[in-house]
C-alpha cells in the first residue's frame, strides 16, 4: 500500500489522497523540474492507473511495470502536456500505450481459452455488491478475450467514450462498439445474467 507521503513534515497537511493543490498547480511545479510535485501527482494517481493496467494485463507484475513506465514517460513528456485534457486522462493514455507496447514486445496476448489461469484478485469493491460478487465480476472480466476486455475496461469501467477508447487503442469507433457489445454479451453469459429487454 502506498504511504501518505515521504515527507513526514508535510504529511499532516497534504495527504496522499487529498492534496490541497490542484493537479494543474502540481503539474506546473513538476514541469519546472520539481520532483516532489511529481511525486505528489504519482501518489494521487497511482491507484487509478494501476487499476486500469491490472485489468488490461491481468497480471500484477506486468501491470506494476507498466505503471512505472507510465510515470517515467509522463515525467519525460510533461513539457508537452498542454492541459487540454485532465492530467489523469493524459496519464491513462500513456498507460494504455504502455500496456499495448508491452503486449506487442512480449507476446502476452491472452485469449478466452486461458480462463483457467489464476486471476489476480483486485480488491473488495464498492457499491451494492458484496465482496464475493465483486470477485465474480473481476473473474468474468478477466476471462474476456483481450480486445473485448480492453474496451469493456476502458469504456464500461473507466467511463471513456467510444471515440476516446478507439483513439487510445488505435482502433475504429465501429470496432470499439462491436467489441463492447461482444464483451458485454460474454460477461452476461459467464455471470449467468439475462439480456435486459430494451
Chain residues that interact with other proteins, rule: CB under 8 A: 1-3, 6-7, 9-10, 13-14, 20-22, 24-25, 28-39, 42-43, 46-48, 50-51, 54, 60, 64, 67-68, 71-72, 75-79, 83, 122-129, 133-134, 137-138, 141, 152, 156-158, 184, 187-188, 191, 193, 196
Q: How far is the CB of 167 from other proteins (least distance, A)?
A: 20
Chain centre to alpha carbon of residue 172: 21
Given the C-alpha cell 496522499, which residue does it identify? 16
Q: How far is the CB of 147 from other proteins (least distance, A)?
A: 18
Q: How far is the CB of 132 from other proteins (least distance, A)?
A: 12
CA neighbor of 56 nearest in space, from 146, 127, 136:
146
Q: How far is the CB of 194 from other proteins (least distance, A)?
A: 8
Transcribe 40-52 into DSSP letters: HHHHHHHHHHHHH
Q: How far is the CB of 157 from other proteins (least distance, A)?
A: 6
- DSSP state, 155? I
Q: How far is the CB of 173 from other proteins (least distance, A)?
A: 21
Of 79 and 118, CB closest to other proteins: 79
- DSSP state, 4? S
Of 103 and 141, CB closest to other proteins: 141
Sign, Cα dihedral of 107, 110, 114, 120:
positive
How far apart (Å, rounded) are the C-alpha atoms in residues 36 and 100?
A: 29
Of 70 and 172, CB closest to other proteins: 70
Of 55 and 110, CB closest to other proteins: 55
How far apart (Å, rounded) are the C-alpha atoms in residues 180 and 150?
A: 9
Of 68 and 89, CB closest to other proteins: 68
Segment (H or E) for 183? helix 173-191
Of 60 and 93, CB closest to other proteins: 60
Is 81 within 8 Å of 87 (Cβ atoms)?
Answer: yes
Q: What's the CA angle centered on 179, arms 124 and 184, to 5 degrees?
A: 45
Amino acid at each position: 500500500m502506498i504511504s501518505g507521503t515521504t515527507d513526514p513534515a508535510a504529511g499532516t497537511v497534504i495527504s496522499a489522497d487529498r492534496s490541497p493543490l490542484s493537479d494543474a498547480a502540481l503539474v506546473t511545479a513538476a514541469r519546472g523540474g520539481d520532483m516532489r510535485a511529481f511525486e505528489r501527482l504519482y501518489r494521487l494517481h497511482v491507484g487509478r492507473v494501476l487499476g486500469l493496467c491490472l485489468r488490461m494485463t491481468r497480471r500484477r507484475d506486468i501491470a506494476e511495470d507498466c505503471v512505472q513506465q507510465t510515470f517515467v514517460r509522463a515525467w519525460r513528456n510533461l513539457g508537452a502536456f498542454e492541459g487540454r485534457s485532465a492530467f489523469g486522462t493524459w496519464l491513462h493514455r500513456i498507460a494504455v500505450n504502455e500496456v499495448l507496447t508491452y503486449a506487442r514486445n512480449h507476446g502476452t496476448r491472452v485469449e478466452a481459452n486461458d480462463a483457467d489461469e489464476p486471476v489476480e484478485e483486485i480488491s473488495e469493491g464498492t457499491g451494492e455488491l458484496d465482496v464475493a460478487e465483486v470477485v465474480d465480476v473481476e473473474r468474468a472480466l478477466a476471462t474476456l478475450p483481450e480486445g473485448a476486455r480492453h474496451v469493456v475496461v476502458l469504456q464500461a469501467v473507466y467511463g471513456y467514450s467510444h471515440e476516446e477508447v478507439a483513439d487510445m487503442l488505435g482502433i475504429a469507433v465501429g470496432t470499439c462498439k462491436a467489441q463492447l457489445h461482444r464483451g458485454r454479451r460474454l460477461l452476461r453469459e459467464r455471470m449467468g445474467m439475462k439480456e435486459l429487454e430494451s
